């Protein structure tokens, strides 16, 4: 008779505020009131280490048990995650309003939330409309940033990152584009730069910036939600792919989606004439299925995008135009700012590296990463 395969145990860290001492150490002594108890060794402890440890033993199920457990659950994908509730679309297209199982919220993780938009999950349906998320599948292709010292995952399980920037109203911000490019490189997601609102400027004025990014191998697309420029190509690009749209407020992410798929009716806002900044109309990342296959994530407008898990010394190596010169610097830990015999600065002086790209690199290090270090 075949022996039953034993479950494997693992130690998992939990958040501190979910732990606490169950009882006082001198409870028995207070009850008896005897002085002799003080002379005895305290053999009974709450745990082997005295205070409660912040780790628990998690019993992993065997493959057969895990398959049986999943068979009782419904698989689906998180459409949006906001607060304590998540909107989940089951594989059959049914929509559920789901809470998150307490043990998932108690896990000690770097991220702000255990469940994010784009996650593939298994949940238990309590009613035809409500449920409880029990499991979260492993992620790939995430887009994240640093928020209050924690990892803020904006979306998960994507193939493309469409970096939406506007030619005008609000003006182009190369520094923000570079931050998204670095994140896409770090997370192994293919970036596509979309310059929207090209109807507001002379197209030839955009050629230098387009040429700088195209020379590094990035795909650049010029679009306009007003006159339809580039919309057909964008619609074809989204087919059959999982794509996230990212950019600052007011660049026209929702407007582009409304044109790509008529009938969505996503809310759009105007750009302020006082400060040339857009108003937030999308408050949380949400998944939108695309006709003909695929899906897009409309993300909230981001004015500041602080990099996650990228140190100052790694930035130049992640930038394709600077990477060939990094190893030629005199100092191995050169940050390419004020050091002597810097091959990167020499390449900028010789116009082998675009000066605007180098300025964006300096701003990124001086305003963000070097402050953290």
What digits encode the pLDDT tens for the residues 312-337? 888 998 899 999 999 999 999 999 99
Query: 247 among the known binding-site residues?
Result: yes
- Mean pLDDT, residues 234-244 taken together: 91
Task: Express each pLDDT in 17-66 by its tens digit.
Answer: 544 444 555 555 555 555 454 454 444 444 444 444 455 555 455 555 45
In the chain, where the domains are located:
63-136, 143-298, 312-372
Task: Express each pLDDT in 246-261 by its tens digit.
Answer: 888 888 888 898 899 8
CATH architecture of the domain with residue range 143-298? 3-Layer(aba) Sandwich (3.40)
Distance separating alpha carbons of residues 367 and 358, to the nearest angstrom = 14
Query: 60 among the known binding-site residues?
Result: no
Q: What is the pTM of this model?
A: 0.73
Q: Beta strands 85-90 and 95-100: pairing type?
A: antiparallel
Q: Is the pLDDT of residue 10 over 90?
A: no
Query: 342 among the known binding-site residues?
Result: yes
Query: 253 among the known binding-site residues?
Result: yes
143-298 has the same fold as 63-136: no
In CATH terms, is domain 63-136 a member of 3.30.70.3040?
no
CB-based contact 224:199 (threshold 8 Å): yes
Query: 362 among the known binding-site residues?
Result: no
Could you give phi then psi for residue 209, rounded to 5 degrees?
-70, -35
Q: 346 falls in which pLDDT band (50, 70, 90)?
A: very high
Query: 248 among the known binding-site residues?
Result: yes
How many other CB atoms are found less than 10 A from the CB of residue 68? 11
Query: 336 among the known binding-site residues?
Result: yes
Query: 367 among the known binding-site residues?
Result: no
CB-based contact 83:283 (threshold 8 Å): no
Query: 250 among the known binding-site residues?
Result: yes
Query: 17 among the known binding-site residues?
Result: no
How many other CB atoms are found less than 10 A from the CB of residue 296? 26
Query: 351 among the known binding-site residues?
Result: no
DSSP 194-259: EEE-GGGS-GGGGHHHHHHHHHTT-EEEE--TTT-TTHHHHHHHHTT-EEEEE--TTS-HHHHHHH
Cα R_g (the chain), whole angstroms: 26
Query: 9 among the known binding-site residues?
Result: no
Distance separating alpha carbons of residues 119 and 158, to the nearest angstrom = 10
Distance separating alpha carbons of residues 323 and 317, to the nearest angstrom = 5
CATH architecture of the domain with residue range 312-372? Orthogonal Bundle (1.10)
Distance separating alpha carbons of residues 10 and 4, to the nearest angstrom = 19
Tokens of 219: 């795909």
Which candidate, 122, 139, 123, places its Cα nearest to that of 131? Answer: 123
Lowest mean pLDDT among 11-15, 34-38, 106-110, 342-346: 34-38
Q: Which pLDDT score, from 0 to 100, does residue 306 have?
A: 75
């Amino acid at each position: 008779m075949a022996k039953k395969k034993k479950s494997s145990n693992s130690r998992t860290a939990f958040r501190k505020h979910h732990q606490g001492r169950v009882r006082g150490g001198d409870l028995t002594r207070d009850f008896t009131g005897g002085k002799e108890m003080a002379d005895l060794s305290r053999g009974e402890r709450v745990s082997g280490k005295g205070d409660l440890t912040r780790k628990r033993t998690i019993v992993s199920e065997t493959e057969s048990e895990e398959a049986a457990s999943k068979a009782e659950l419904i698989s689906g994908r998180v459409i949006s995650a906001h607060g304590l509730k998540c909107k989940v679309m089951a594989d059959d297209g049914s929509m559920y309003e789901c809470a998150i199982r307490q043990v998932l919220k108690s896990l000690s993780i770097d991220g702000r939330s255990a469940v994010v938009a784009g996650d593939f999950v298994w949940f238990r349906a309590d009613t035809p409309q409500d449920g409880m998320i029990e499991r979260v599948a492993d992620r790939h292709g995430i887009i994240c940033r640093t928020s209050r010292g924690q990892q803020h995952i904006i979306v998960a399980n994507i193939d493309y990152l469409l970096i939406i920037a506007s030619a005008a109203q609000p003006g182009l911000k190369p520094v923000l584009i570079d931050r998204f490019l670095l994140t896409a490189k770090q997370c192994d997601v293919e970036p596509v730069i979309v310059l929207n609102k090209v109807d507001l400027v002379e197209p030839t004025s955009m050629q230098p910036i387009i040429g700088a990014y195209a020379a590094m191998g990035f795909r650049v697309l010029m679009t306009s939600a007003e006159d339809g420029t580039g919309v057909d190509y964008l619609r074809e690009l989204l087919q059959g792919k999982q794509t996230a749209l990212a950019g600052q407020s007011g660049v026209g992410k929702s407007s582009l989606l409304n044109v790509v798929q008529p009938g969505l009716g996503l809310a759009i806002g105007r750009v302020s004439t006082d400060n040339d900044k857009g108003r937030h109309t999308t408050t949380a990342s949400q998944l939108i299925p695309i006709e003909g296959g695929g899906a897009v994530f409309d993300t909230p407008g981001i004015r500041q995008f602080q990099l996650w898990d990228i140190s100052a010394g790694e930035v130049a190596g992640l930038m394709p135009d600077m990477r060939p010169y990094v190893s030629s610097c005199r100092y191995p830990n050169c940050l390419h700012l004020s050091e002597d015999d810097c091959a990167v600065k020499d390449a900028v002086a010789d116009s082998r590296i675009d000066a605007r790209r180098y300025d964006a690199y300096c701003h990124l290090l001086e305003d963000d990463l070097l402050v953290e270090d």
